[in-house]
Amino acid sequence: MVRGMATEASTTPATARVVWRRYLAKPTQEQIVLLVTLALIIGFSVALPGFATVANLLNLAKSVSILGILGLGMAIVVIARGLDLSQVAIMAVSLGIALTLMTNGVSTPVALLAVLVLALAIGAINGLIIAFIEVPALFATLATTFVAFGLGRLVLRTLFIYAPPTATGLFFIGQGRILGIPTPIVIFAAAALIVHWMLSRTSLGRFLYAHGDNPEAARLTGVAVRPLAVIQYMLSALLAWVAGIVFTGSTASMNLQIIYSTAIFDTILVVVLGGVSLIGGRGGVLSIIAGTALIGTLLNGFTIMDVNSEVQNIIKGVVLLAAILLDNRLHPRDDETARQGD
Amino acid sequence: MTRASNLRMGWGMLAAVAAAGLIAAPMAARAADEPQISKSERELRSSYDKDIKGKTIAWVPIALGAPITDIWTAVMQEEAEARGMKFLLRDPNWDATAELQAVSALISEKPDILVVHNPSLTLLAKELKRAEEAGIHVIQMNMESNYLSDGFVGADWGQIGRMMGEETIKACGSGTKTSHKVQIVQGELTAAGNVNTVAGLMQALDKDKEIKVVSSQAANWDPKKALDITATVIQQHPDLCASIGIWGVMETGASQAIKNAGKLEQVKIITNGEGSAFDCQQLKEGMYTKYLSYHSDRQAHDVIDEASVLLQGKMKPGTVHVALYTVPEWLDKASADKPGACFELPNLKKPETAAKQ
């Protein structure tokens, strides 16, 4: 033990080299993804004129901010070994209702807070079904998606809902700039910092990782797993609401059609790509930033190169497959603690 | 007979005739006052009622909730019920499989007229053929399939594409002092409406060698995707001359991106659509420069008219091809104000025979 402490305490060049070699020998997925992103950025900067400008890079970041915020919410749930397929539905339905309220004269902050309550309620329902009725997260959140969509269509009647011109605060969030940086990027950065603080510095974060790593052990050591489930899905819903505000701010509308588009799979792509393993217990905010950066760079490059949309979808699919395979190799499924629906 | 008795008989007959006349005259007068519907009109009306009243018309859109399908449904329902027809509605909600199932199920219910909105050229073609063989008239709405049925009501997409292309050449072609750069925002690459419109558009654009298409990406009918694509395009090509959108509602995303970049005055936004009040509003706000409307409210009216003709003509299903192509109309900021330019979005009341799935 003394020798071990001595080795840690001393920083001889030999020890440092050993530490470095161990570090580089098994790179984490975030590092791999960040390296690939860097390679792509360098490649595109050389091949595509106009890519490596501040304006374009800000555009790139702005276009994936919403995906990033949703990814943060999904990461919280996936780290705890869950899955939230209802995020996009919560985002679309709650903001659709908010826009309708605003058009009918309700003030913007009141409308947004009212639908925050709705979003949190749906998140809580998700958590309650998964924790108490013990339905696997995949099926529970899928069901909630359909229910939310149906309710949304019933209440809203149309698929496209438009913001009234008076919602200037909303437009600032979507289209404005703070200190020269587009507001969506600022909001993504702020959300990332808060989630990072929560995951790494609070006991809630520790419990999420514990539950993701080994749910049974977490339960046996006294972690309140059921309230934990409810809280994590409510947090995911909260971030979906934030993403929705940025969405409606930038497009001045909400489109219920996105619930049945590939948006939710793009979110899972960002999460898995960045290194938040689907078996839970690892990854963090850096993973989301890495995944979002890679997807954003790819999409931006494709748009500048005017690549056919079907080819874009194929490449996104291949990237997702590669990420899952890499995830499988680096973090094999722990059969002792795996559950149905994993 | 004596002369006296003859005279008496004569006066008697005269009296009888006068009496009869006095009694009959008011009756005749009353009869002459009461107007009668002419026989030909009565015959026509009765034959019309026999052919139309009580007949069933079934409608399967791709999905409800978009202005185009909502206005079609509202107008068709109103006009069908006003003529005494029964109106059936099925809402597959963007699910192609559900639409196929709905059509198959309706064929067994044997409506008299089946109106369908095809999501692709191939999905419903076989079922539509089966419907006509079963004695049901099929009218295809706005997007056709590979099977030519009795009726088609809708826009000629190739023509719409060509007209948008010609308008683009006028705004950005060789004669103009612009960069000649244009962007195309497509919908979904495999949709019938998209394929034909883009084909017509490219045919027209190819005629002017100066026009450069700098971007032709699919935004899948989603305004947010259109916004993201256009934000990159306008940033890469700040001297963009025109943005051509295959559907107005989707193109609002592109206009928003151009507005955010402060280039709304410079870039001509050319698009087409159903012509709802929303679209006229966009024209007035400068979010579209030129809008080609195919007046979907009139299209729905045309469907009921075509159904009426098919039923009264007593034609055997599958033996005719009656196409009612909509005549598209250019709208711009000035003409958006004229009455009837755009239709008001319907205040949707729940249809009596609501979606059953």
Q: Kindly determine whether residue B218 and residue A309, on different chains, have CB atoms separated by under 8 Å.
A: yes
Best mutation site among B224, B252, B258, B345 for testing chain A: the one with the most A CBs within 10 Å? B224
| Residue B172, amino acid | C
Q: Kindly determine whether residue B67 and residue A158, on different chains, have CB atoms separated by under 8 Å.
A: yes
CA B310, distance to chain mean position in Å, is 17
pLDDT, residue B349, reads 46
Burial class (CB in 10 A: 0-12, 13-18, 19+), B283: buried
Q: What is the mean pLDDT of chain A?
A: 88
The pLDDT tens digits of the residues spanning B19-58 come to 777 776 666 666 566 888 899 999 999 999 999 999 999 9
H or E element, residue B323: strand B322-325
pLDDT, residue B220, reads 85
- Flag residues of chain B having pLDDT under 70: 1, 24-33, 347-357
Helix intervals (H) in chain B: 3-33, 39-52, 67-82, 96-109, 125-133, 157-172, 192-205, 223-236, 248-260, 277-285, 296-312
Q: Using CB atoms, which residue from B232, B249, B256 is nearest to A160?
A: B249
pLDDT band at A6 (very low <50, low <70, confident <90, very high): very low
Nearest Cα to Cα of residue A269 among A309, A321, A307, A311: A321
pLDDT, residue B120, reads 83
The SS3 of residue B221 is coil
Best mutation site among A57, A255, A297 for testing chain B: the one with the most B CBs within 10 Å? A255
Structure tokens at B337: 């104000």
| Residue B354, amino acid | A
Q: Kindly determine whether residue B222 and residue A299, on different chains, have CB atoms separated by under 8 Å.
A: no
Query: Which residue of B lies nearest to A60 if distances are taken between CA atoms?
Result: B232
Q: Which residue has the higher pLDDT, A334 or A295?
A: A295
pLDDT, residue B232, reads 93
Question: Can you give the pTM of this predicted structure?
Answer: 0.83
pLDDT band at A16 (very low <50, low <70, confident <90, very high): low
Q: Kindly determine whether residue B260 and residue A175, on different chains, have CB atoms separated by under 8 Å.
A: yes
pLDDT, residue A8, reads 46
List A75's β-bridge partners, or say none.
none
pLDDT, residue A13, reads 66
List B271's β-bridge partners, or say none.
B245, B291
Please report the sign of the dihedral spanned by the C-alpha atoms of residue A307, residue A321, residue B226, residue A38. negative
The torsion angles phi and psi of B116, rounded to 5 degrees, stand at -125, 155
Q: How far is CA B346 from CA B37, B66, B70, B78, B350, in A?
A: 37, 11, 7, 11, 11
C-alpha–C-alpha distance, residues A40 and A49, integer Å: 14
The pLDDT tens digits of the residues spanning A72-105 come to 999 999 999 999 999 999 999 999 999 999 999 9
Q: How many residues are given for chain B?
A: 357
pLDDT band at A321 (very low <50, low <70, confident <90, very high): confident
Residue A25 clears pLDDT 60, i.e. is over it: no
- A157 vs B: CB within 8 A: yes
The torsion angles phi and psi of B302, rounded to 5 degrees, stand at -60, -35
The pLDDT tens digits of the residues spanning A239-278 come to 999 999 999 999 889 999 888 888 898 899 899 888 888 8
Helix intervals (H) in chain A: 2-9, 13-25, 29-47, 54-79, 87-103, 108-132, 137-156, 168-175, 183-201, 203-213, 215-220, 225-251, 263-274, 285-305, 309-330
Nearest Cα to Cα of residue A55 among A300, A292, A248: A300
Between chain A and chain B, how many beta carbons pairs sit less than 8 Å apart?
A: 79
B213: distance to nearest CA of chain A, Å? 10
pLDDT, residue B353, reads 33
The SS3 of residue B118 is coil
The pLDDT tens digits of the residues spanning B322-334 come to 999 999 999 999 9
Best mutation site among B235, B247, B274 for testing chain A: the one with the most A CBs within 10 Å? B235
Q: Model ipTM?
A: 0.80
% of chain B surpassing 90 pLDDT: 71
pLDDT, residue A95, reads 96
